[in-house]
A = this chain, B = another copy of it.
Amino acid sequence: MSNQRTEIASLGEFGLIDRLTKNNEIKQSSTILSIGDDAAVIDHGGMQTVISTDLLIEGIHFDLSYTPLKHLGYKSVVVNISDIYAMNATPTQIVLSIAISNKFSVEALDEFYEGVYAACEKYNVDLVGGDTTTSQRGFVISVTAIGEVAQNKFVKRDGAKPNDLICVSGDLGAAFLGLTILERERKIFEQTGAQPDLENQTYIVGRMLKPEARKDVVDYFAEHNIMPTSMMDISDGLSSELLHICKQSNVGCVLHEEKIPFNEDMKDFAYKLELDPTACALSGGEDYELLFTISQADYEKINENNGLSVIGYITEASEGKNIITRGGNKHELVAQGWNHLK
């Protein structure tokens, strides 16, 4: 962070691009040509290319009043490459475009790009292109990630079969609680000017502001010769994502509430806020964990990994999509994920 303020207009478009990309390092041998031409060139040899894209809009997807720009840069990359991992593929390159209003200084953009490069470094991904332009108002971020996968080893959403086990990585619902506390403190600050009190909830706040993509899970699949029958990442909440898998695979499901993994701090804090941890997991979203199904033959391989949980099983479509509560009741699973269009 710096207190200096350099106007973006003083650098000009190409001066700005030079500044933002001068420390950009190429890590992938498949990156033949990177930033600075009409397009980038990538050599995927005998691999298949996987491509995914996200558009992030200030005020809709992020709030700069409590999001440090470095974290925003990091998260912009992570949420996109999370989609590549969700295909059982390895991200290799990204292109990143931004539109900025003149309220941003060059130093603010430097911070954003610090986060972008930190994510590229961590996930071994090359930034190979983009577009830099102005907006009349608000910050717009577009990320497209390219990945590679061995011939026909990609995993879609439509391959779940009856009796397959439903699994998730990590724990769920914490990002939503992180958002809840950040939003609460923002409102208190706006009304009273009081400084934010995050109650030392570093885990849940970190889950919201600096999520990670589950490269380790995809690596684990490769090492243990596991091929999930379907997979997607959890950006909109567990129920919404599981319903996607059921719809695209034309199957039903039984989810066991008691099997949904929670972080202890998250659970305690949810009760403190009088929120149901299960509801946070089902409808919260932004956890960026992997939701996948496996055939029962792979159960032992999943079970011996403490970071993975079996939370239910797939049924025939005619049996519906259901959740069994802790009390043993059966309810229909409904999607209540964030609907950005409402």
The answer to whether A86 has its CB under 8 Å from any CB of chain B is yes
> Residue A134 contacts which of B84, B128, B140, B341 (CB distance < 8 angstroms)?
B341
A339: chain B residues at CB < 8 Å are 12-13
The answer to whether A55 has its CB under 8 Å from any CB of chain B is yes
A133 in contact with B95 given A41-B87, A44-B49 (CB within 8 Å): no
Bound CA span A83–B41, Å: 12
| Smallest beta-carbon distance A324→chain B, Å | 26
Copies of this polypeptide in the complex: 2
The answer to whether A270 has its CB under 8 Å from any CB of chain B is no
A89: chain B residues at CB < 8 Å are 39
Count residues of chain A with CB under 8 A from any CB of chain B.
72
A99 in contact with B57 given A38-B83, A39-B147 (CB within 8 Å): yes
The answer to whether A33 has its CB under 8 Å from any CB of chain B is yes
**24 sample A-B contacts, Cβ–Cβ < 8 Å, listed by A number:** A9-B341, A12-B341, A12-B342, A16-B341, A37-B87, A37-B158, A37-B232, A38-B83, A38-B84, A38-B86, A39-B83, A39-B84, A43-B48, A45-B46, A49-B146, A51-B128, A51-B144, A51-B146, A55-B140, A57-B135, A61-B133, A132-B341, A133-B340, A137-B138
